């Protein structure tokens, strides 16, 4: 019998299901529920950058800014060219009042991807 969702010893299929369910929970504005599901996925697969990025987003949505910062930083250590992770880390710093660090990551995001949202946040004209 397969192990239940949320355990660290689940099958790869269980982890995929948990990841997809966490995406749905985050979309439904239940970031804490998403974090709980992702904890087991990341415990079993700490190298899974997509799960870490989703957990970082969930922490941010739950206003758990220090854990969000840590997860976004781990993602960027593995994928330094991830424009979205730079942008999200910048927003995390911004919410913590760490404007110099935020500006640096907003500008990195915009340099990596000329997304209008990233360019506006980078405030190159300021």
1-32 tens-digit pLDDT: 333 344 446 888 899 999 999 999 999 999 99
What does the pLDDT read at residue 126? Answer: 67
Query: pLDDT band for position 92 (50/70/90)?
Result: very high
What average pLDDT does range 75-82 have in this prediction?
98
The closest alpha carbon to 83, from 60, 46, 113, belongs to 113
- Which tokens go with 84? 């979205």
List the single range of 1-15, 81-95, 102-116 with lowest mean pLDDT. 1-15
**Helices 83-95 and 99-112, packing angle to 10 deg:** 160
Q: Where is average pLDDT lowest: 5-9, 45-49, 51-55, 118-122?
A: 5-9
CA 59-14-18 angle, to 5 degrees, is 25
Rounded CA separation 35/31 (Å): 6
DSSP code for 96: T
User: What sign results for the dihedral spanned by CA atoms 56, 61, 62, 65?
Assistant: positive
The pLDDT value recorded for residue 3 is: 36
């Amino acid at each position: 019998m397969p192990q239940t969702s949320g355990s660290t010893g689940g099958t790869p299929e269980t982890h995929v299901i948990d990841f997809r369910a966490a995406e749905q929970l985050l979309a439904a504005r239940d970031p804490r529920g998403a974090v709980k599901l992702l904890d087991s996925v990341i415990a079993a697969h700490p190298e899974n950058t997509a799960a870490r990025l989703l957990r970082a987003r969930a922490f941010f949505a739950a206003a758990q800014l220090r854990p969000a910062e840590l997860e976004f930083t781990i993602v960027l250590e593995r994928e330094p060219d991830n424009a979205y992770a730079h942008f999200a880390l910048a927003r995390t710093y911004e919410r913590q009042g760490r404007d110099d660090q935020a500006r640096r990551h907003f500008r990195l995001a915009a340099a990596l991807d000329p997304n209008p949202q990233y360019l506006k946040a980078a405030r190159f004209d300021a």
